[in-house]
Every structure is written in structure tokens, then in C-alpha cells.
């Protein structure tokens, strides 16, 4: 299964990806996680990316495309992968398409997790992640166990200002990839409002349909 999760910031892509890989047994490739790891390590790519990420802006296509195409060419992706957060622009979608075409493989599905803008800010601002396990919590909707509360991380782009920019970028830069995949007949729209378990079931049903 070669698939992509698309949706606005705070739609639940990371949460759903972590659940779906148990079912599909494919690597979860999150461009945001890869970029955050590069920032933490202080690599040249990380230093460049951080300038954009902290403001909620997109990292330039040439940086992200190379990073992801190298990753999906690794042997663990031979039988499939789940991309989360990439592609996020039309040039990224076209670059992925060309690379897959050259490799003689095809995308099976693009899952679009739809959440109204009004809900996104609260989802992101209350989001916390556990650096040890990668688990994602929400202070109100999915509170973390008290014993790990002290080690949780609040992303620096999960502020009201950065989320506002990220949502704007989603509409201006990322939404144009939707018709691209719709025209290929592989787009699955899923309502992303509700309990995470319910949404996982919706996604699984959409993938099986």
C-alpha cells in the first residue's frame, strides 16, 4: 500500500498515521517529523528549515522534495509507505509522481482528512507530544497520563500565530493538490471531526471501498 495522508494542520494526520501503520505494516514517513529531527540535530538542512517552520511557513520545495524522495527510495519502502505532510504543494506532488513513475510504482490512495478551520486552532494549541514514545496528546480531548506530563513537548509552531499562517498556507499551497489526485481517481475524503477511533474506522472503510 502506497498512500498519502493530506489535511490541514491539526487534522489528526500524525495521530491517524500512528494507528494505521499497525494495520498496514508500512513505514510512516512524516516530513514534519523528519524536519524537526534535522532541526534538533542542527544539520544544515535543519538550520535552513527552522527559519520557515517556526513562523508556520512552508520549507522550500527543493529542500523537502530531495529529503522525501531519498527516504522513499530506501529498501523499507519497497512494499509501501504512508506519507504524512508530504506532498504539500503542487510541485511536490508532481515531483513525487515523476519519481514513482520512474520507479515503476503507483500510489494506491490519497486520504484527505477534512476538518473545519474553526476547530484547527484549538486542536493545535492544546497539542502535546511525548518525545520518548512519539505519542500525541491533547490537554482537553486526549489528556496525557499525569506521570509523563512533565516531559511533554509543545511544538513551537503550535501557537495561535503560527497556526493561523499554517492554515492559510494549507488553503493557498496544499489544497491545489486535491484536484490533482481527484483526477487520478485515488482521492478518499474522510470527515475528520470526532473521536480518533471513529476516524480510524472511517479511514479504513474508505481505503477498503
Nearer to ligand AMP, 88 or 202 (CB): 88
**What are the residue numbers of the active site?**
13, 88, 127, 155, 166
Q: Which residues contact 84 (CB under 8 A, 6 or more apart)?
A: 4, 5, 13, 14, 17, 28, 29, 30, 31, 32, 33
In whole angstroms, what is the distance from residue 39 CA to residue 202 CA? 34
Neighbour-count burial for 56-70, b at 16+ CB within 10 Å, e otherwise: bbbbebebbbebbbe
Using Cβ positions, the residue closest to ligand AMP within the complex turns out to be 32
Nearest to 70 by CA among 24, 103, 118, 117: 103
Report, in Å, the least distance between residue 174 CB and ligand AMP. Answer: 8
* Alpha carbons 38 and 32: distance in angstroms, whole number: 10
Applying CB under 6 A, the residues found at the interface with ligand AMP are 9, 31-32, 35, 52-53, 56-59, 64, 85-86, 88, 92, 157, 166
- At closest approach, how far in Å is the CB of 56 from ligand AMP? 6
Cβ distance to ligand AMP smaller for residue 153 or 205: 153
Nearer to ligand AMP, 141 or 201 (CB): 141
Amino acid at each position: 500500500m502506497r498512500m498519502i495522508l493530506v489535511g490541514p494542520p491539526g487534522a489528526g494526520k500524525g495521530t491517524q498515521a500512528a494507528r494505521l501503520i499497525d494495520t498496514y505494516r508500512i513505514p510512516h514517513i512524516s516530513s514534519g517529523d523528519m524536519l524537526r529531527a534535522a532541526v534538533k540535530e542542527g544539520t544544515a538542512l535543519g538550520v535552513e528549515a527552522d527559519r520557515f517552520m517556526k513562523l508556520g511557513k512552508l520549507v522550500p520545495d527543493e529542500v523537502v522534495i530531495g529529503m522525501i524522495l531519498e527516504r522513499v527510495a530506501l529498501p523499507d519502502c519497497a512494499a509501501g509507505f504512508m506519507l504524512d505532510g508530504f506532498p504539500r504543494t503542487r510541485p511536490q506532488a508532481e515531483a513525487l509522481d515523476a519519481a514513482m513513475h520512474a520507479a515503476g510504482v503507483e500510489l494506491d490512495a490519497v486520504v484527505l482528512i477534512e476538518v473545519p478551520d474553526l476547530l484547527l486552532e484549538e486542536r493545535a494549541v492544546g497539542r502535546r507530544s511525548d518525545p520518548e514514545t512519539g505519542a500525541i496528546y491533547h490537554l482537553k480531548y486526549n489528556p496525557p497520563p499525569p506521570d509523563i506530563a512533565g516531559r511533554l513537548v509543545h511544538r513551537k509552531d503550535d501557537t495561535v500565530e503560527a497556526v493561523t499562517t499554517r492554515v492559510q498556507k494549507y488553503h493557498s499551497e496544499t489544497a491545489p493538490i486535491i484536484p490533482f489526485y481527484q483526477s487520478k481517481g485515488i482521492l478518499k475524503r474522510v470527515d475528520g471531526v470526532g473521536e480518533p477511533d471513529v476516524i480510524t474506522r472511517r479511514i479504513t472503510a474508505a481505503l477498503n471501498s
